[in-house]
Structure 1
């Protein structure tokens, strides 16, 4: 796949930034105040890779809990406050980014304000300036292919010449639906090594355990 790759599309949360444990804990704590007891495994199975509107609908469907209009705003404010003190890049990401020989962008289910803040905290604002695409820009979020196809179009690259790096089942599903080569990144702090959901559904998708291994998987993309 690397011989034809002209663009790398990174998911953001859990791929570029090690944010999923932080965001899950904030959500778990806020839902607990409303009487809904869930854990990290529940978040990973049902919410990982989804935009907030989808998460809210799943909460209603699975937990019989309708969130108030202010819940999302309060959640985002609390999350961004925690980001200031706890957010980091995933281990080794900066090194890979510095050695890539093709253009790259971000395609994320998170909101633009959250992503903008996160990239600022980890010092990547200028690096991804003008090439951050969010689910708010398309009709259907992941697992639909719309966001990845939108990112490819905006970056001027055909889908088959893109490489997606994703951590979530919904994200990998979206990449496959977009007919884009995809690598499943499992190096984030939120990943459960016993969770084989992606492997069982997409056995053909390569697995990346640490960014240090990226050059071995995709040598043609690295200096």
Structure 2
């Protein structure tokens, strides 16, 4: 049987946003006196909710994400997205070819998810099945968000397949009892050393082009 639900992460899977997001975050943090390398940023922020990022910054760097910092980060990020954000190549065609129920489950806030999908032309493929970490108590790597999506759409977690680029997301999928496909084709894959990090978590398959996704999911069925 084919999967009952395919759950897509958004950033780095549907939209090629991770290099933009990290650039903005590191710039704002540096202006606040917290200088991090690109490698540190990917290692500690990739795929994680803003709450998890804030906890790490407070614990490891003594930096509090104040309302002013968050507002500046948000303003710059959404402006960059409106101007520069692109979809992952071939993702719309791959989703259409699946002919399966799909949804989005992202660590980002709901308005950012919808903006990302709108400017890249992907929103009609998912609306209204969009789930944000703001809807659950614990973001990725906890399984809460994926379990919420499955429960809301009436699908057994064992019948779900998650498409993720981040170790946090793949960990969440495993904790939710779901199969996973690791995607390592975003612009951030090389600077984040993504393939190696994804391989460590041994998902059912790893792809670097969305054109391969339909065949991979048929194989999982």
Name the TM-score class by shorter chain.
over 0.9
Structure 1 residue runs without a partner (length 5+) = none
Structure 2 CA distance, aligned partners of 1:151 and 1:67?
Answer: 28
Write 1 or 2 for the structure with the bigger share of helix.
Answer: 2
Corresponding residue of 1:205: 204
Superposed CA RMSD: 1.7
In 2, Cα distance between the equivalents of 1:107 and 1:17? 13
TM-score by length of 2: 0.93
How many residues matched? 219
Unpaired segments ≥5 residues, structure 2? none
SS in 1 for 2:126: coil
Give the whole-Å Cα distance in 1 for the aligned partners of 2:19 and 2:137.
27
1:9-158 pair list within 5 angstroms: 9-158=7-156
State the Cα deviation string for residues 171-223 of structure 1 (Å, max 9, x = none): 000000001000011011111374422312x235311111122233223699x
Q: TM-score, normalised by structure 1?
A: 0.93
Where does residue 186 of structure 1 map in the other structure?
Answer: 184
CA distance in 2 between partners of 1:20 and 1:114 (Å):
13
Equivalent residues of 2:107, 2:133 under 8 A apart: yes
